[in-house]
Structure 1
Amino acid sequence: MNAELLARFHGVIPAGGVGTRLWPLSRAAAPKFLHDLTGSGSTLIRATYERLIPLAGGNIMVVTGRAHRTAVIAQLPEVSDLDLVLEPEPKDSAAAIGLAAAILYRRNPETIMGSFAADQVIRPVEVFQEAVLEAIHTAATGKIVTIGIRPTLPSTAFGYIRAGERLDISGAPTARDVVEFVEKPDGDTARRYLADGGYLWNAGMFVAPVSLMLKHLERSEPELYAGLTEIAAAWETPARDETMDRIWPNLPKTAIDYAVAEPAAAAGDVAVIPGVFDWDDVGDFAAIGRLNPASEETGVTVIGDVKRVYSDNATGVVVTDSKRVIALIGIHDVVVVDTPDALLVTTKEHAQSVKNTVDTLKKNGVMDVL
């Protein structure tokens, strides 16, 4: 890898989203990226940071909510104050990633940024890092690059990337053109995509010259671009907080896919590197069962410090954050999440529906457990 090229690379970690399908473990005050969901002893955000260190060194910026400042600093004490971007309120990914790009552009217009969400599980790390290196080489030719995940099943939970012709780029043998981004499909369409072989899951990973990101943002979202540029201009001055508080609440709320990726793909400015590593966005409690093998002794996957779980002819996932004894008898594919003030009991099959419960609790004003 060209050392000069790698010196231009900065990692960005957007750490937002509560992960409502992981309630009651994940909540507004303790979102999923602050939990160890893989039994590795490392939270998801710490694991994300460590994946990027060999590529970016100390050049890593984190974008998160003000409410998570203390918890994020405890997880990532190496991140400097100027590299910790605290959102006064959630504004979706275009504002978060766009502001990181605008700040980095002011520091060095030649920067190539790589944005990777804080709440994904990726193995093996070395294969991921090889894909990012290919993406950096490709971005240096003037492309916004996404790392698409090879689909392993016809999922309706993700958007897809339609890959096109192979690109001839030194240092990026697997780079391909992106024909289009497509929305989350229905079941039949997802099966067709899987059979076609030319479609990849959109995991929201972007590697791009900050100048190109901002060019497309200005073109498609001029109001958002203007606000972010003003905040970035004040970022390393005493006016930082005042400027953020004045501008941020009025910024348009939109996803980076709509604001940048899709219009850039239509303009022929997007490439994709197929990711051949294992990837999981830990979207629900069934994912925790996939990521953590069940105990041979009990047949149950148990996550938590206090593991007082007993089973008799039972299978499933138990996440415990209390001292209670949990006994499972003659029940299969169950999900039990036990916290001091809320208990969830469902099945792996219905794990995606937890979000509906959170919505109902919110509607009924039961906010103390959210």
Structure 2
Amino acid sequence: MNTVVPVILCGGSGTRLWPRSRVSRPKPFLPLIGELTLFEATIARCPPSIGFAGPVVVTGALHLDHVEAQLGDVEQPSVIVEPCARNTAAAIALAANRLPEDAIMLVCPSDHWIGRPDAFASAAVAASQLASEGWLVSFGIEATAPETGFGYLRQGEEILGGSGAKGFRTAQFVEKPDLETARTFLSAGDYAWNGGIFAFRVKDFLRELATHRPDIDAAVRKAVESGWTEGHRFHPDAELFAAVESESVDYAVMEKTARAAMVPADMEWSDIGNWAALHDAVPRDSDGNSIRGCVGELVDCRNVLVDSDGPRVSVIGLENAIVVVDGDDILITTTAGVQKVGKLSGARNQ
């Protein structure tokens, strides 16, 4: 099989997990679950010992110090420094223009949690084998609840690769649904969450990008051609890259290509998109409570998350609540209110 290169997309504004996550240090660089940060865990899931090449990390200058500090002793890393954020189509195209045309890109967000790395590795192998035969492959993450915050993939006819890898054509990409539609998807059984993890061969991705979004393809190519190297860092031309239109890879390529495929992935996945999602991912006691840091007592509480880095926090008589202390900032919200955290002025300005 062709060389498989993890392409780690690393950015974000850090607002939805305020006050722990900040614009200057968003959630990929925080140890929210266990001892590793989400970024470190993403890198650790793609080791050379199971056949992965050194990673390519695409990040902005604001996060460069965090990336390099947390890469540690990773062998042969490459860091592409985006002059500005231009969404995932452009970020992936930057990496593609820096890799051999037959390399397989395994595109991974840096801020997701996966509870079963073994299942991730199995899905990555199957996706990479199909990608080596010209498919553009999404991970179809097993839908375990009628989530309205995720896009969905509908499973089509089965694909059996020459290597024995099994997948399915992607019959439909579906935008974030309302609750009733999400319940319908869950009961139908042929819909999976679209977690933004992809595998494709460099030349196939660039061909499809040039076909469906030639403007993005040409602009990124020019920015790379005029870029410059600094050790393991690569800097695209800032002025040329700023002219690239911002669009997701789903819209630009995956929803348009006739070669879209998916592999099932039952790997205990979460995008840790807000405090409620984090609460779902961490261990709980018999009352559904989770604590981290300097926490005193929880009395008559149900489904409460308390996370404090300093003052000792005790809680009495709350249900379905989140309490977070970070330095001088304190957040208290109901579980239902977590979607509004990113709208707080403190979250947007720090």
If the length of structure 2 is used for normalisation, what is the TM-score? 0.92
From 291, 307, 316, give the equivalent of 1:319. Answer: 307
1:180 maps to which residue?
172
312 and 91 in structure 1: CA distance in 2 versus 1, 3 angstrom threshold: same
Q: CA deviation at 1:309?
A: 2.9
| Runs of 5+ consecutive residues of structure 1 not aligned to the other structure | none
Higher strand share: 2
2:62 maps to which residue?
67
From 245, 248, 263, give the equivalent of 2:241. Answer: 248
From 25, 29, 35, give the equivalent of 2:24. Answer: 29
1:112 maps to which residue?
104
122 and 243 in structure 1: CA distance in 2 versus 1, 3 angstrom threshold: closer
1:351 maps to which residue?
338
Aligned residues: 346
Does residue 280 (structure 1) correspond to residue 270 (structure 2)? The answer is: yes
9 and 225 in structure 1: CA distance in 2 versus 1, 3 angstrom threshold: same
2:279 maps to which residue?
289
| 1:290 aligned counterpart, secondary structure | helix
| 2:166 aligned counterpart, secondary structure | coil
Q: CA deviation at 1:300?
A: 3.4
1:15 maps to which residue?
10
Q: CA deviation at 1:187?
A: 1.3
Identity of aligned residues (%): 32
Q: What is the CA–CA distance in structure 2 between the aligned matches of 1:198 and 1:159, rounded to whole Å?
A: 14
1:217 corresponds to which letter in structure 2? L
Q: CA deviation at 1:20?
A: 2.2
| 2:81 aligned counterpart, secondary structure | strand
1:303 maps to which residue?
292
2:262 corresponds to which letter in structure 1? V
CA contact (8 A) 2:104 2:132 kept: yes
1:135 corresponds to which letter in structure 2? A
Higher helix share: 1
1:319 corresponds to which letter in structure 2? D
Does residue 143 (structure 1) correspond to residue 135 (structure 2)? The answer is: yes
1:94 corresponds to which letter in structure 2? A
Does residue 94 (structure 1) correspond to residue 81 (structure 2)? The answer is: no
Q: How big is the alpha-carbon RMSD for the aligned residues of Structure 1 and Structure 2?
A: 2.2
| 2:216 aligned counterpart, secondary structure | helix
Does residue 44 (structure 1) correspond to residue 38 (structure 2)? The answer is: yes
2:58 corresponds to which letter in structure 1? V
Q: What is the CA–CA distance in structure 2 between the aligned matches of 1:15 and 1:303, rounded to whole Å?
A: 25
CA contact (8 A) 1:10 1:56 kept: no
Q: CA deviation at 1:24?
A: 1.3
2:40 corresponds to which letter in structure 1? R
Of 281-290 and 156-165, deviating more is: 281-290
Q: What is the CA–CA distance in structure 2 between the aligned matches of 1:65 and 1:80, rounded to whole Å?
A: 21
Q: CA deviation at 1:168?
A: 2.1
| 2:344 aligned counterpart, secondary structure | helix
Q: What is the CA–CA distance in structure 2 between the aligned matches of 1:343 and 1:101, rounded to whole Å?
A: 42
Alignment of 1:145-184 (within 5 A): 145-184=137-176
Q: CA deviation at 1:173?
A: 4.3
Question: C-alpha offsets along residues 185-225 of structure 1, whole Å, 9 cap, x if unaligned?
Answer: 11121111111111111001110011111111112222221
| 2:97 aligned counterpart, secondary structure | helix
Q: CA deviation at 1:272?
A: 0.5
Runs (4+) of structure 1 moved beyond 4 Å?
79-82, 234-238, 240-243
1:317 corresponds to which letter in structure 2? L
17 and 172 in structure 1: CA distance in 2 versus 1, 3 angstrom threshold: farther
CA contact (8 A) 1:120 1:280 kept: yes
| 1:167 aligned counterpart, secondary structure | strand
173 and 243 in structure 1: CA distance in 2 versus 1, 3 angstrom threshold: closer
Question: C-alpha offsets along residues 35-88 of structure 1, whole Å, 9 cap, x if unaligned?
Answer: 1111x1000000000101144544211111111111111110345797101112
1:257 corresponds to which letter in structure 2? D
Of 115-124 and 309-318, deviating more is: 309-318
Q: What is the CA–CA distance in structure 2 between the aligned matches of 1:272 and 1:303, rounded to whole Å?
A: 37
| 1:153 aligned counterpart, secondary structure | coil
CA contact (8 A) 2:15 2:347 kept: no
1:115 corresponds to which letter in structure 2? V
115 and 243 in structure 1: CA distance in 2 versus 1, 3 angstrom threshold: closer
Question: C-alpha offsets along residues 82-106 of structure 1, whole Å, 9 cap, x if unaligned?
Answer: 71011122211111111111111xx
Of 211-220 and 49-58, deviating more is: 49-58
2:253 corresponds to which letter in structure 1? V
